[in-house]
Structure 1
Amino acid sequence: MPRVLLIEDDRAVREGVALALRRQGHEVAAADTGEEGLKVLRSFRPDVVVLDLMLPGMPGLDVCRGMRALDQTLPIIMATARGDDEDIVVGLEAGADDYVVKPVQARVLEARIRAVLRRATAVPVGDGLPKLDTYGDLTVDRAGFSVTLRGAPVALAPSELRVLLLLSASPGQVFSRQQLLEAVWEHSYHGDARLVDACVKRLRAKLGEPRYIETVRGFGYRFASL
Structure 2
Amino acid sequence: MTNKVLIVEDEDRIARLLQLELTHEGYTVSVADNGKDGLDQALSEPWGLIILDIMLPELNGIEVLRRIRKVDPFTPIIVLTARNTTPDIISGLDQGANDYITKPFEIEELLARMRVAQRSRTLEAAPKEQSGLLQVADLSVNKGSREIVRGGKRIELTPKEYDLLLFLLENKNLVMNREQILNHVWGYDFLGDTNVVDVYIRYLRKKIDYDHEVTLIHTIRGVGYCIREEES
How high is the TM-score relative to the length of structure 2?
A: 0.53
Matched residue, 1:90: 91
Structure 1: distance between partners of 2:56 and 2:7: 12
Superposed CA deviations along residues 140-183 of structure 1, whole A, max 9, x for unmatched, are xx96698989xx9xxxxxxxxxxxxxxxxxxxxxxxxxxxxxxx
Matched residue, 1:10: 11
> 1:26: Cα distance to partner?
0.5
8 Å CA contact 1:3, 1:46 repeated in 2: yes
Matched residue, 1:62: 63
> 1:122: Cα distance to partner?
2.4
Q: Which sections of structure 2, spanning at least 5 residues, go unmatched?
A: 139-150, 152-232
8 Å CA contact 1:21, 1:106 repeated in 2: no
Larger Rg: 2
8 Å CA contact 1:51, 1:60 repeated in 2: yes
> 1:18: Cα distance to partner?
0.8
Matched residue, 1:43: 44
SS in 2 for 1:96: coil
| 1:30 pairs with 2:39 | no
> 1:40: Cα distance to partner?
1.4
Superposed CA deviations along residues 67-125 of structure 1, whole A, max 9, x for unmatched, are 10120111110111133222211111011110000111111111111111111112689
Matched residue, 2:123: 122
Structure 2: distance between partners of 1:63 and 1:72: 13
> 1:60: Cα distance to partner?
0.5
8 Å CA contact 1:9, 1:56 repeated in 2: yes
How many residues matched?
Answer: 138
8 Å CA contact 1:78, 1:99 repeated in 2: yes
> 1:44: Cα distance to partner?
4.1
Matched residue, 2:199: none
